[in-house]
Amino acid sequence: MSIIPKLSFKNQAFKLREHAILDAATAVLSSKGYDLMTMDDVAGAVGISKPSLYKHFKSKEELVGEALIRLLDGALEYVAALDPGLGPVDKLSALLEWALRVRLDGGLPFLPSTSPHVREMLIRNVKYMLRVVKLNRQLEGMVKQAQQQGLLDRELPTDVILFSYYARTCDPAVEYLQKYSKMADEDIVRHMLKVAFDGFR
Amino acid sequence: MSIIPKLSFKNQAFKLREHAILDAATAVLSSKGYDLMTMDDVAGAVGISKPSLYKHFKSKEELVGEALIRLLDGALEYVAALDPGLGPVDKLSALLEWALRVRLDGGLPFLPSTSPHVREMLIRNVKYMLRVVKLNRQLEGMVKQAQQQGLLDRELPTDVILFSYYARTCDPAVEYLQKYSKMADEDIVRHMLKVAFDGFR
DNA sequence: GTCTATACCCGGATAGAC
DNA sequence: GTCTATCCGGGTATAGAC
């Protein structure tokens, strides 16, 4: 887009720093959550001062919004890159596996729906909601298709499956297993997928 | 315990007020969460002033701790009152149903494990942890028994089932269904139980 | 663009009158 | 025991020097 190469360098460095800030924000968010995350935490983790932070993101809400947008973009990319030959259930399973691995790796659960504060903030974020709607449309399509093919329970309303699916991507059992059982990440993912699709029985 | 009746009246009124405060705290907590709940909110909801609140509970942490202890006591009572003739899976199902109904009724999810802040605070709360350990022991017993009888998946580690069970008691899908689908509470409970025990398939 | 220093606000907790 | 008024810490955001 830019036709002046001189600006490219600056922009490049700027983008790099922005990336580092988002990484730091992601790490702090995943350990302390939104309300307890302070801008000092993020600035400290990046190794810059707070005012410099505000040169990149004009508020805490914007910073967190961008971090979550990046996460959703990752999910959208992952879905787009899936083998089109896969069945709907395999796709849903693969994406859930991806989301669980991201979290086990210190990343964020998407849809940090738990905090009313955060939820309200994100709903006001048009850029974020755009991604949510797009991802939701694709997932809803997969669920409906799977139900028609009899691969997912036809008795259950699509909403129930879809919302429960989202809930599994941020299931707190993951953290508990990671913390209190000595289970390998591989096994946690495997078990969580099993429980999600087949239940406890 | 008290041998002076004169004090009984005062104590009775005191207990009543305390009950009202805990009700208010529960309501505010369930709608705003811990971090966004202010002592002004609670005082306002009860109709008393903030200093009066502090006559009953010496800090925000203590207030919230007591509200959650009351909740756990409710769960423990419910479990104790269950027909001993019921099988372990029926008991687990009944308790999960109870927990979901409490939430749909404006109550709290037990184990608000989501917020690291709250979790840390509760772990320091001996009175609270006592209840958690007691309840956990009973639930773990039920899960193991059910696995031995082949009523719950033997392949899954007990921890996985137990933590996932806790996660279902605070599954955010409940709120989403209540808010975005026009489903009756009865149906939400029924579907959530089905998904928990039998999965999406 | 980066820092130091600061304005400003809000929420937890308390002093002191009644 | 209840209220009004206030303290104080900490967190967001910014002013202004370099």
Q: How far apart (Å, rounded) are the C-alpha atoms in residues A139 and A171?
A: 18
* B123-179 pLDDT tens trace: 999 999 999 999 999 999 999 999 999 999 999 999 999 999 999 999 999 999 999
The pLDDT score that the predictor gives to residue B109 is 82
Which residue among A152, A172, A201 places its CB closest to the CB of B200? A152
Radius of gyration of chain A (CA): 19
* Whether residue B6 has pLDDT greater than 70: no
CA of A49 to C1' of D16 (A): 16
The pLDDT score that the predictor gives to residue A113 is 61
CA of A71 to C1' of C1 (A): 28
* A141-175 pLDDT tens trace: 999 999 999 999 999 999 999 999 999 999 999 99
Amino acid at A195: V
Amino acid at A168: R
Which chain A residues are within 8 Å of B172, Cβ to Cβ? 113-114, 163, 166-167, 170
* Whether residue A111 has pLDDT greater than 70: no
C-beta atoms of A115 and B195 within 8 A: no
Which chain A residues are within 8 Å of B36, Cβ to Cβ? 35, 115-117
pLDDT greater at residue A196 or residue A110: A196
Q: Which of A112-116, A192-196, B118-122 has the lowest mean pLDDT?
A: A112-116
CA of B42 to C1' of D17 (A): 46
Instruction: Tell me how far the alpha carbon of residue A23 is from its chain's centroid.
Output: 13
Q: Is the CB of A38 under 7 A from strand D?
A: yes
Which pair of tokens denotes residue A23?
Answer: 């990484």
Domain ranges of chain B: 1-58, 60-198
CB B94 within 8 A of CB B59: no
| CATH class name, domain B60-198 | mainly alpha
> Which nt has its C1' nearest the CA of A57?
D13
Are domains B1-58 and B60-198 of this chain identical in fold?
A: no
Write down the CATH superfamily of domain A1-58. Homeodomain-like (1.10.10.60)
Which residue among A117, A180, A201 places its CB closest to the CB of B33? A117
What is A59-198's CATH number, 1.10.3470.10, 3.40.50.720, 1.10.3720.10, 1.10.357.10? 1.10.357.10
